[in-house]
């Protein structure tokens, strides 16, 4: 079990390097030691005012979101990213009912919290989710900020890099 945890953490590190860039990864490591650093993430979602505004909105809503079900967290996150970011059109997803942007929001949140849930949940659309992530890394950074914002206050200043207890997907 420890080996699996180490592998997941290594993969999460690589994923964060890919979509969140070096500044983010370094700041996240600092944040693990000093949770007060979280406010610095909001300027790293997207360079410019819209990224800072989204970061501020995510940070301000964290106390409200923490008490919501996972499906409501996804809806709120989807609404926020749609309001603050210019997003590429989500891909067509056969066998997926409902809002495609909401599905992508759930994909991103799962990826940055419990990536091991993706194969069973995604109905074979992992490659489309990954393609979208690479076209819109700001969504992944926003998802990670939300995950960190919700996780760290609850867990007393420390949450594991992957599979935080307060992001237990069903």
What integer pLDDT is reported at residue 15 of this predicted model?
77
What integer pLDDT is reported at residue 70 of this predicted model?
92
Residue 79 forms part of a structural domain: yes
Residue 168 forms part of a structural domain: no
What integer pLDDT is reported at residue 73 of this predicted model?
94
Q: Are 114 and 162 in contact (CB under 8 A)?
A: yes
Distance CA 53, CA 12 (A): 26
Distance CA 147, CA 166 (A): 9
Distance CA 168, CA 92 (A): 27
- Give the count of domains, the chain: 1
What integer pLDDT is reported at residue 157 of this predicted model?
46
Distance CA 74, CA 68 (A): 10
Residue 169 forms part of a structural domain: no
| Residue-by-residue pLDDT tens, the chain, 170 positions | 778 777 777 777 777 777 777 677 778 777 777 767 777 777 778 766 655 688 888 888 888 888 899 999 999 999 999 998 888 888 888 777 778 899 999 999 998 888 888 889 988 889 999 888 888 888 988 998 898 888 765 444 444 556 666 787 86
Residue 120 forms part of a structural domain: yes
Predicted TM-score (pTM) of this structure: 0.83
Which residue range forms the structural domain that includes residue 39? 2-163
Residue 43 forms part of a structural domain: yes
Structure tokens belonging to residue 87 = 């997003």
Residue 64 contacts by C-beta under 8 Å, 6 or more apart in sequence?
none
């Amino acid at each position: 079990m420890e080996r699996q945890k180490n592998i997941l953490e290594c993969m999460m590190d690589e994923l964060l390097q890919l979509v969140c860039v070096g500044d983010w990864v370094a700041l996240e490591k600092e944040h693990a030691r000093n949770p007060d650093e979280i406010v610095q993430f909001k300027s790293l979602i997207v360079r410019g005012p819209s990224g800072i505004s989204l970061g501020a909105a995510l940070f301000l809503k964290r106390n409200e979101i923490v008490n919501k079900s996972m499906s409501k967290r996804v809806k709120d996150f989807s609404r926020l990213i749609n309001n603050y970011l210019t997003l590429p059109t989500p891909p067509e997803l056969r066998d997926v009912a409902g809002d495609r942007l909401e599905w992508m929001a759930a994909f991103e949140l799962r990826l940055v919290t419990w990536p091991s849930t993706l194969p069973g949940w995604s109905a074979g659309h992992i490659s489309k989710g990954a393609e979208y992530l690479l076209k819109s890394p700001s969504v992944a950074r926003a998802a990670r900020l939300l995950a960190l914002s919700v996780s760290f206050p609850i867990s007393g200043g420390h949450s594991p890099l992957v599979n935080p207890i307060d992001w237990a997907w069903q």
